[in-house]
A and B are shown apart, each in its own frame.
Chain A
Amino acid sequence: MAETSDPRPDGSGVSPSFLRDARGLQRKLVEEYYARLGSPDRSRPVAYMLVGGNLAEIVRSFGYEVVFPEIVALNCAIKHQSLDNILHAESMGYGLDVCGYVKNDLGLQDRDGRTSFGQIPRPDLLVCSFSGCYVYVKWWEALAESYGVPLFMFDVPYMREEHPRKEDIDYLVSQLWDLIHLLEKRTGRAFDMDALKGMLVESRRAEDGWVDFLRAGRLRPSPIEAYFESIFYMFPINVLRGTREAADFYGVVNEEVRARVRDRTYPLPEEKVRVLVEGVPPYTNYRTFWDFFRKWGAVSVVATYPKVGGLFDRGFRHDPARPFESIAEYSLGAYVNQSWPLRRKIIADYVREYRADAAIIHGIKSCRSFTAGQGDLRDWLNRDQGLPTLYIESDHEDPRYFAPAQIKNRMDAFFESLEQRRAVGAAGGPATA
């Protein structure tokens, strides 16, 4: 999702040039986005929003620029700028156990929003899509008190059944209208349904392209790295959804994926292990963590984290013919807004559809929403599903919690044991899972 340097430092597998067009285009989109936000000539008001269940199309239809503090936070982390912000937030009173995204953002805000990739503007409006993470409420309360700007609470019911109730949709749609009335009042503009529908057309096109990309992981060998590479390419679907640029972007990406298949050029020279990855990455040590997989020929073919912005691969699409209902349905579909039984079902389907050989779960110290219960998930995968699974833990934002030697040791031992099982199986030994 963020800008990184070339993920292929050793030159094996996919050529760096192979990713040039998509990477170059993404870099351009990221730079343009932050340049727009930081421009001294910016005339548009700014709304802060969260990724999960966000209402970007509605807010943009009123001329707002949208800032996603989670995205800013992970950009800070991947560029090794998060620790300073976190330490500053701790000096403001935020404890060690508070979410790293929150601390990065509030620390950054208190330091005037300056980053190496752009100036983050102050908000004129806070739209809290409470979808899958309770910390969102606390975070937005803090921003509202700091800036004295209105906070609109978009309360998204937690998903405990696969399909929402009528009352869930009614509640959501009613809140969407409340937001529209607020936006009309604040901007003095009338709501433009045609403008919204036009954005939803582009959203849908981007979602189609994004899903095509993700589903390439079903091929064997996989032409994509479904965790590290997908996270890189999440920026347009999460930040720019509803724009023509985001929709066009996935056309470029998928053209490259088709070329990879045609040329038999894959993420690694040999796909030895097909891995499902669950959890947020350690952004502060992104490449190091990726190397721990690559060393063993492990390619992630499917991952849950790229679905935090929406479960598009499970069939959902924004629909210009049903604008409000589809936005309401979208808001329910953030991955962490699904109950554990639903998350387990999604994962079981992924294992089957993507023919995963093993799973890696990366728990985040300061993210209870994603992480609380991942130990139980490991047990369920190992024992009920028969899928070898490793659970490791660090943090997404705070480099003090990433212990490379410990994580590498555990991953080495895990992948080594997988290799041994296969060797025994190939030699006619006892069958293993």
Chain B
Amino acid sequence: MADLLAIQDPPPERADAVEGDRVELAADFREFGDAHSIEEILRLAREVLGDPTFPTARAWRKAGGRAVGCFPVYTPQEIVHSFGLLPVALSGGGENLEISRADAALGSFLCSISKSTLEAALTGLLEPFDAYLFPYICDVSRNLEGIFSRVLPSRPSHMLHLPQNFTSPSAIPFLVAEYRSLIAKLERLTDRPFSPEQLGRSIELFNEQRALVARLAALQRDAPGKIGLVEYYLLRRLGGLLPREVHIPLLRRALAEIERRERKNKDAIPILLVGPFCEQPTLDLLQLIEDVGCYVVGDELQMLHHWCPSIVPGPDPLESLATAYLRTPVDIGVRLTPTTKGAAIQARLDAARAQGVVFLTAKFCEPALEDVVLYRRALEHRRVPYLHMEFEEKSTTYEQARLQLETFVESILFD
């Protein structure tokens, strides 16, 4: 613990907890502009994801830019963008980060993403960021912000209270006030005033990204044979790591290529993948789900990009953002359910024409674990098959998972 407190501010280059090589990207992200095939894009994506030193944020800084780390699940990244800052998704340390210090500060029974994010803070891996944004999605994410304020005192962090009352008319002005508190910090950070006009332009840009992500999701749902689950996931994951101005043309090119593919659907089971809305499963685990014979036709991966449909900026873009968040009835573990969990899962099954559900919940993720019970009850009542598996960031063996998944698929095939 002595070391823990020795790090009140991160050293400039400290990444001894990291396994593997660092990825160095050009300041203008030309690697992604030059990548004209899906294979090239996915190779780059795998490299970026495999490097927990945030290569995209480091590249952005090379050109003098500043970046803000944003914890899952939903944050109003349009606001961050409107200040000329790069919002970057903090999705945990993945497979390549050893946890040595965060355990002592956080406690034993907590999810991997909270520990790996704090570990990154304590070992200097978050150096590329000038500020951090945490939404109140659970008690751990909320408390994590309070720890950040102590261990990284020179870097502002902000905890955003996203309302849980979705029907009160007062929730909109309240959320606007929340956004204004964030804006005050960003104004101090950047030494520039908030511009509603610029926010309107940022919302339009993010709308473009949302529309493309929605197209990708529709493809995954309606023609899953054309796109692999890992492809789909990596293309979306890049959306939280790259500048939107880079991700949008990249996604457009990728979509065009995928849509041209002439691949037929296999005889696989269409399923919903429920639970991994915050901490992220490994790519190997996602691949395994597909390998055993499932098509994921509805999911909670990288929810940020499809939380809301297109947002009309309106005369007050802050109010538009707040309204879009509050009035979009998303069924997910981190907000009060708009109906009931039973009705919600049925609606999602119907919308995706899924035949079963795989619950993939992060170890110790209490919101997901509690939801699973209600979902399961509804599925049993309707005789819809399901499987529940837990995962952690540093999963290495998948024999048990394979066995569970194969049994699940066989039980449906031979039913």
Contacts and interface: CB of A to CB of B under 8 A. Distances in A.
Nearest to A363: B107
Contact of B169 (A98, A174, A371): A174
Contacts of A376: 4, 105-106, 147, 150-151
Given A134-B139, A375-B106, A142 B164 contact: no
Nearest to B371: A138
B369 A94 contact: yes
Nearest to B390: A95
Interface stretch (A44-52, A157-165, A246-254): A157-165
A375 B105 contact: yes
A142 B340 CA distance: 9
Interface string A130-149: 10011101110110110000
Nearest to B166: A153
Interface string A364-384: 011011011111101110111
Nearest to B102: A375
Contact of B177 (A97, A167, A368): A167
Interface in B314-352: 333, 336-337, 340-342
Interface stretch (B39-47, B90-98, B188-196, B372-380): B372-380
B341 A380 contact: no
Interface residues of A, number: 56
Contacts of B374: 141-142, 145
B140 interface: yes
B396 interface: no
Q: Is the interface of B mostly helix, strand, loop or mixed?
A: helix
A178 B376 CA distance: 33
A233 interface: no
A339 interface: yes
Interface stretch (B29-37, B108-116, B242-250, B399-407): B108-116
Given A142-B374, A373-B105, A153 B164 contact: yes
B114 A372 contact: yes
Contacts of B232: none
Given A134-B139, A372-B114, A339 B369 contact: no
B393 interface: no
A97 B110 CA distance: 9
Interface string B138-149: 111011111101
Nearest to B104: A375
Contact of A365 (B109, B145, B159, B164): B109
Interface of B: 1, 4-5, 103-110, 114, 136-140, 142-147, 149-151, 159, 161, 163-166, 168-171, 173-174, 176-178, 181, 333, 336-337, 340-342, 363-364, 366-367, 369-374, 376-377
17 contacts: A145-B340, A145-B374, A153-B165, A158-B159, A167-B174, A171-B174, A175-B165, A175-B168, A178-B168, A339-B149, A340-B146, A341-B149, A365-B108, A372-B106, A372-B107, A375-B107, A380-B150
Interface of A: 92-95, 97-99, 102, 130, 133-135, 137-139, 141-142, 144-145, 153-155, 157-158, 160, 165, 167-168, 170-171, 174-175, 178, 339-341, 343-344, 363, 365-366, 368-369, 371-376, 378-380, 382-384, 393
Given A95-B369, A98-B370, A153-B166, 6 more contacts: A141-B370, A157-B174, A157-B178, A158-B159, A372-B106, A393-B108
